[in-house]
Structure 1
Amino acid sequence: MDVGTVIVTGGSRGIGAATARLLGTAGHRVCLTYRADAAAAERVVGDIVAAGGAAVAVRVDMSDPADIEALFGTAELGTVTGLVNNAATLETQCRVDELAADRLHRIMTVNVVAPMLCAKHAIRRMSTAHGGAGGAIVNVSSAAARLGAPGEYVDYAASKGALDTFTRGLAVEVAAEGIRVNAVRPGFIHTDMHADGGEPGRVDRLAPSLPMRRGGRPEEVAEAIVWLLSERASYVTGTFVDLAGGR
Structure 2
Amino acid sequence: MGAPLTVVTGGSRGIGAATVAALARAGHDVVVGYRSDGAAAARVVADAEAVGVRAVAVRADVTDPADVDRLFATDLGTPTGLVANAGLTAHLGDLADTPVDVVRTVLEVNLLGAVLCCRRAAQVMATDRGGAGGAVVCISSSAATLGSPHEYVHYAAAKAGVDALVVGLAKELAASGVRVNGVAPGLVRTDIHTGAGDPGRVDRVTGRVPLGRAGEPDEIAPAVVWLLGPDAGYVSGTVLRVAGGL
Name the TM tier (shorter chain).
Answer: over 0.9
Matches of 1:209 and 1:70, distance apart in 2:
40
Matches of 2:239 and 2:199, distance apart in 1:
27
Query: Percent identity at matched positions?
Result: 50
Residue 209 of structure 1: how far off its partner (Å): 2.8
Q: Is the 8 A contact 2:4 2:27 kept in 1?
A: no
Q: What residue ranges of structure 2 are gaps of 5+ in the alignment?
A: none
Q: Is the 8 A contact 2:91 2:98 kept in 1?
A: no
Matched, 1:42 2:53: no
Matches within 5 A, 1:152-231: 152-231=151-230
Residue 208 of structure 1: how far off its partner (Å): 2.5
Aligned length: 246
Matched, 1:29 2:29: yes
Aligned counterpart, 2:68: 68
Residue 71 of structure 1: how far off its partner (Å): 2.2
Residue 44 of structure 1: how far off its partner (Å): 0.6
Matches of 1:60 and 1:238, distance apart in 2:
27
Q: What residue ranges of structure 1 are gaps of 5+ in the alignment?
A: none
TM-score of the superposed pair, with normalisation by structure 1: 0.97
Aligned counterpart, 1:3: 3
Aligned counterpart, 2:119: 120
- Secondary structure of the corresponding residue to residue 206 of structure 2: helix
Q: Which aligned runs of 4 or more in structure 1 are off by greater than 3 angstroms?
A: none
Matches of 1:25 and 1:129, distance apart in 2:
31
Residue 77 of structure 1: how far off its partner (Å): 3.2
Q: Is the 8 A contact 2:7 2:72 kept in 1?
A: no
Aligned residue identity for 2:10: G
Aligned counterpart, 1:132: 131
Residue 67 of structure 1: how far off its partner (Å): 1.3
Q: CA RMSD in A?
A: 1.1
Q: Is the 8 A contact 1:4 1:78 kept in 2?
A: no
Q: Is the 8 A contact 1:2 1:79 kept in 2?
A: no
Residue 167 of structure 1: how far off its partner (Å): 0.7
- Secondary structure of the corresponding residue to residue 198 of structure 1: coil
Residue 72 of structure 1: how far off its partner (Å): 1.9
Matched, 1:111 2:116: no
Aligned residue identity for 2:146: L
Aligned counterpart, 1:54: 54
Matches of 2:146 and 2:9, distance apart in 1:
24
Matches of 1:77 and 1:99, distance apart in 2:
41
- Secondary structure of the corresponding residue to residue 84 of structure 1: strand
Aligned residue identity for 2:136: I
- Secondary structure of the corresponding residue to residue 173 of structure 2: helix
Residue 4 of structure 1: how far off its partner (Å): 3.2
Q: Is the 8 A contact 1:96 1:154 kept in 2?
A: yes
Matches of 2:90 and 2:205, distance apart in 1:
19
Aligned counterpart, 1:78: 77
Q: Is the 8 A contact 1:139 1:182 kept in 2?
A: yes
Q: Is the 8 A contact 1:188 1:244 kept in 2?
A: yes
